Amino acid sequence: MRLSRYFLPVLKETPSDAQIVSHRLMLRAGMIRQQAAGIYSWLPLGYRVLRNIERIVHEEQQRAGHIPVLMPTVQPADLWQESGRYNAYGPEMLRIRDRHDRDMLYGPTNEEMITDIFRTHVSSYRDLPLTLYHIQWKFRDEVRPRFGVMRGREFLMKDGYTFDVSKEAALHAYNRHLVSYLRTYERMGLQAIPMRADSGPIGGDNTHEFLVLADTGESEVFYDSEITDLRFGDRDIDYDDPAQCRAVLEEFTSRYARTDETHDPEAFARIPTERQRTARGIEVGQIFYFGTKYSEPMGAMVQTADGIQVPVHMGSHGIGVSRLAGALIEANHDDRGIVWPEEVAPFPCGIVNLRQGDGNCDSVCEAIHGQLSARGLEPLYDDTDERAGAKFASMDLIGLPWRITVGPRGLKSGTVEVTSRRTGDSEEMSPEAAVARIADIYGRG
If one asks whether residue 320 binds ligand P5A (CB under 6 A), the answer comes out as yes
Residue 129 CB, shortest distance to ligand P5A, in Å, is 17
Preceding omega of 129 cis (within 30 degrees of 0): yes
Q: Distance (Å, rounded) from C-alpha 43 to C-alpha 51?
A: 12
If one asks whether residue 293 binds ligand P5A (CB under 6 A), the answer comes out as no
DSSP 2: B
If one asks whether residue 323 binds ligand P5A (CB under 6 A), the answer comes out as yes
Name the packing angle between helices 431-441 and 359-374 (round to 10°).
30
Contact indicator for 369, 438 with CB cutoff of 8 Å: no
What is the number of other CB atoms lying within 10 angstroms of the CB of residue 208?
A: 26
Residue 328 CB, shortest distance to ligand P5A, in Å, is 13
Number of H helices, E strands in the chain: 14, 23
Q: Distance (Å, rounded) from C-alpha 272 to C-alpha 266?
A: 12
Stretch that binds ligand P5A, among 99-107, 155-163, 306-314, 331-339 (CB under 6 A): 155-163
Residue 412 CB, shortest distance to ligand P5A, in Å, is 51
- Candidates 155, 185, 232, 239; binder of ligand P5A (CB under 6 A) is 155
Residue 378 CB, shortest distance to ligand P5A, in Å, is 29
> 376 phi and psi, to 5 degrees?
80, 20
- Candidates 60, 112, 159, 383; binder of ligand P5A (CB under 6 A) is 159
If one asks whether residue 318 binds ligand P5A (CB under 6 A), the answer comes out as yes
What residues contact residue 346 under an 8 Å CB cut-off, 6+ apart?
A: 45, 46, 48, 49, 52, 340, 380, 398, 400
Residue 355 CB, shortest distance to ligand P5A, in Å, is 44
If one asks whether residue 330 binds ligand P5A (CB under 6 A), the answer comes out as no
Residue 180 CB, shortest distance to ligand P5A, in Å, is 14
If one asks whether residue 261 binds ligand P5A (CB under 6 A), the answer comes out as no
Residues in 349-368 at the binding interface with ligand P5A, rule: CB under 6 A: none
Stretch that binds ligand P5A, among 121-129, 168-176, 279-287, 341-349 (CB under 6 A): 279-287
Query: Among residues 202 and 404, whose Cβ is nearest to ligand P5A?
Result: 202
Query: Among residues 158 and 277, whose Cβ is nearest to ligand P5A?
Result: 158
Q: What is the size of the binding site for ligand P5A (CB under 6 A)?
A: 20
Q: Distance (Å, rounded) from C-alpha 195 to C-alpha 258?
A: 5
Residue 285 CB, shortest distance to ligand P5A, in Å, is 5
Residue 306 CB, shortest distance to ligand P5A, in Å, is 31
- Candidates 83, 175, 286, 295; binder of ligand P5A (CB under 6 A) is 286
Q: Distance (Å, rounded) from C-alpha 374 to C-alpha 324?
A: 30
Contact indicator for 331, 282 with CB cutoff of 8 Å: no
Residues in 108-127 at the binding interface with ligand P5A, rule: CB under 6 A: 109
Stretch that binds ligand P5A, among 152-160, 241-249, 393-401, 416-424 (CB under 6 A): 152-160
If one asks whether residue 218 binds ligand P5A (CB under 6 A), the answer comes out as no
If one asks whether residue 259 binds ligand P5A (CB under 6 A), the answer comes out as no
Q: Distance (Å, rounded) from C-alpha 183 to C-alpha 189?
A: 10
If one asks whether residue 202 binds ligand P5A (CB under 6 A), the answer comes out as yes
Query: Among residues 46 and 379, whose Cβ is nearest to ligand P5A?
Result: 46
Contact indicator for 336, 393 with CB cutoff of 8 Å: yes
Q: Distance (Å, rounded) from C-alpha 282 to C-alpha 39?
A: 19
| DSSP string covering 200-239 | GGG--SEEEEEEEE-TT-SEEEEEEGGGGG---TT----T
Query: Among residues 285 and 407, whose Cβ is nearest to ligand P5A?
Result: 285
Residue 130 CB, shortest distance to ligand P5A, in Å, is 16
Residue 139 CB, shortest distance to ligand P5A, in Å, is 9
Q: What's the first-to-final CA gap in the chain, in angstroms?
A: 21
What is the Cα gyration radius of the chain?
Answer: 24
If one asks whether residue 177 binds ligand P5A (CB under 6 A), the answer comes out as no
Q: Is 288 helix (H, G, I), strand (E, B) or coil?
A: strand
Q: Which residues bind ligand P5A (CB under 6 A)?
A: 109, 140, 142, 151-152, 155, 157, 159, 202, 283-286, 288, 316-318, 320, 322-323
